[in-house]
Amino acid sequence: MNLFRKLGRQVEQFKTKAKAASRDRASYRCTECGARFSEQRERCPECGSGDVVSVTQQE
């Protein structure tokens, strides 16, 4: 049982790190909620806002 708990913790840590890396490399950002994503969209996949901009436009 202890082995499964350890593996479960490691999986959760990996998922957290993968999500953070994905956000850091995102090319687009919602100005309403701050969600970041890789592909261009007309609406934010998180909040539905139409205020999506390229990350390079904001910097």
SS3 12: helix
- Whether pTM > 0.85 for this model: the answer is no
| Domains, in order of start, for the chain | 2-58 (2.20.28)
State CA 47 to chain mean position distance: 13
- What would the pLDDT profile of 5-37 be if each residue is shown by its tens digit? 999 999 999 998 888 777 777 789 999 998 888
- What would the pLDDT profile of 37-54 be if each residue is shown by its tens digit? 888 889 998 899 999 999
C-beta of residue 29 within 8 angstroms of C-beta of residue 55? yes
Place of tokens 């999986």: 11
